[in-house]
Amino acid sequence: MENVERLQLERGISPERLVPVEFDYKGDTNKMVERVISFLYLATTVGFLFFLTKQLRSGLGGMGKGGGGDIFNYGKKIFYSM
């Protein structure tokens, strides 16, 4: 507020002709809530996709071995010694 008055005085405007400036800031909480919800939606989606790919990798990789193997080991012969 003081900066606006000081600027007007520096420009040579007489104190009687100063333009009154009033700032009324109303915090926009709606935008903040929207941003938080948007971030939570994004984090949930990314977390779900990460979980899904982890489950698919462990389920596909170890066919018959209970999972947990690498997907590229599919089709390789496994020799057991008796």
- Closest by CA position to 58, among listed 44, 34, 74, 43: 74
User: CA 4, CA 18: separation in Å to the nearest integer?
Assistant: 10
Supply the pLDDT for residue 61.
52
Supply the pLDDT for residue 69.
53
The conformation of residue 18, written as its DSSP 8-state character, comes to P
- The number of domains in the chain is 1
80 found inside a domain: no
Q: What is the mean pLDDT of residues 47-72?
A: 68
Residue 9's pLDDT band (boundaries 50, 70, 90)? confident
Domain boundaries, position 18: 2-73
79 found inside a domain: no
**Coil, strand, or helix at residue 55?**
helix
35 found inside a domain: yes
Q: Is-contact 62 68, C-beta < 8 A?
A: yes
Tell the residue number behind the tokens 């600027």, with chain if given. 7
Q: What is the mean pLDDT of residues 64-78?
A: 56
